[in-house]
Amino acid sequence: MGQREIARAVQKDDSAHTTRIGKPLRVALFGFGTVGSSVARILVESRPEGLELTHVFNRGVARKKVDWASKNVVWSEDAGGVLSSDVDVVVELAGGLEPAGSWVRRALESGKSVVTANKKLIAFHGVELERLAAAKGGHLKYGAAVAGGIPVIPGLEQGLAGDRIERMQGILNGTCNFILSRMEAGAEYATVLAAAQAKGYAEADPTEDVGGFDARAKLAILMRLALRVVVDPEEIIPQSITSVTAVDFSYARDLGCTIRQVARAEEREGNVAATVGPMLVDLRSPLAWSRNTENMVILTGKYGGDVVFSGHGAGGHPTAVAVVSDLIALAHGSRRVEVPSVPAKIGAEFEVPHYIRFLVVDRPGIVAEITGTLARERINIRAIVQKAGYPAHALPFVVTVEPCKSSTLKRALTSIGKMDCLLEEPLNLQMLE
C-alpha cells in the first residue's frame, strides 16, 4: 500500500471514529437486577461519551422502574420488541444458557453488538457466538464474565497477547472466598453461608458457587484466552467446599497454610490439566491474602513470568464497571481481538502433594492400614498429624503425601474407604506449593 492509500485509510478510520462518538450508541439492558441497575446508574451519573441508555427489558418491569433514569428510557417486558428496535448494543445480564442465549444470538444475527457478563453462555458457546458476531459485523464483548471488575480478559486479549501463558491459577468465585476466609477466622459454614445470602453474594440455592460450577465456567473461558485451548467445561470435575470444616483450617494452620477455592489449569506439550476445588494454599502465597469477595488470578508466561490480577470479584458495582468499560470500548470503535485457539481434551493430571483428613472411631492398627495401602500405590507419606482434645469415637487426623497423581491417590482412597473405622469419606485436598 502506498503513502496516499495509507493516508486515505487513516482518514476513513478517523471519520468513522468521529461519527461514532458524534452519534451515541443506543444501549438496551436485558436484566435490571443488581448488576443491571448498577450499569444504568453509571451510565446516568457518569454519562460516558458516546453512550445512551434507551431500553430496559425485564420481566415484571413495572416494579423495576426508577425515577433517576432518563424519562426517554423505554421500559419493556417484550424482549422481541426491544431486539427488533433500533438499539445498537444489547447488554445481556440475565445469566444462564436460555433464554439469554436466544436473545444474544438474535441480537448478533441482526448485526447488533452484545456485551454480556454471562460466564456460562460464554464458557459453553463463546466460540460459536464470536464467529456469528464476526460474520454479521457486530462485536461480542464479555470482560465482566470473569472476576467482576478486574480487567483479566482485556489484559489477556491485549496486555499479555505477546506472551505464551503456560499455567494459571486463581480465586474466581467471590462467594466461596467470602465463606472460606470467614471460616478461616473461626466462623461455621452454615452461619457464613447465611450471611453471604443476606448480603446478596450467594443465591438461595448456592450450589453453582459452593459446588465449583461457577468457577469452572470462568476457568474454561480463561483457558481459551490464556492457554489458547477450547475445552468442554463439563470435562472439568469440580470439588465442593461443603466438606471443609473448622478442623481443616486448624490443621492447615499447623501446616503453614490456609484453604481457598482455587481454579487452576496448565498446558504442557499439548497436554492440558484443569481442576477446581478447595485447596491448601501456603500462607506466603498471594492467593492466601485474598479475603472476602476478592478475586485473584495469577498467570505465568513463558517470557513475562508471573502476572497477578486482584480486586473485587463480586457485587453489582465492580461487575458493572467491567460492563460499562466494554460499552465505552465499543463507543470508541474498539475492534474485535482475534485470539487463536484449538480444541483440546483434558487428559493430563497435576502431580502435587495432597492433604487427606480422616474422621474415625479410634482403634489399634488404623495408621498401619492407611500407610500400607498408600505404600502399595507407591505414594510417599510426608507427615501424619493428630491434634489432642478430640474424642476417640470421632477422631480427626491428617495424612499429607508427597506429590502424586490424583488418579493414583484415588485408587488408594477407594481401598481405604472400605475400612470399618471410618465415619465419613476422607477429605482429599490438593496442596499448592
Any residues with CB less than 8 A from the CB of 371 and at least 6 apart, and which?
381, 399
Indicate which residue of 64, 112, 141, 218 is catalytic: 218
- Cβ atoms of residues 205 and 299 within 8 Å: no
Q: Cα(128)–Cα(142) distance, rounded to whole angstroms?
A: 14
- Dihedral sign for Cα 140, 116, 42, 73, please: positive
Tell me, what amino acid is at 281? V
Closest CA to 384 of 421, 403, 412, 356: 356
Task: Say whether 218 is catalytic.
Answer: yes
- Cβ atoms of residues 29 and 323 within 8 Å: no
Q: Cα(143)–Cα(326) distance, rounded to whole angstroms?
A: 7
The C-alpha cell 502433594 sits at 353
Tell me, what amino acid is at 73? V
Core vs surface per residue 203-236: b (16+ CB within 10 A) or e: eeebebbbbbbbbbbbbbbbbbbbbebebebeeb
> Counting Cβ atoms within 10 Å, is residue 60 exposed (0-12), middle (13-18) or buried (19+)?
exposed
Query: What residues are labeled active site?
Result: 218
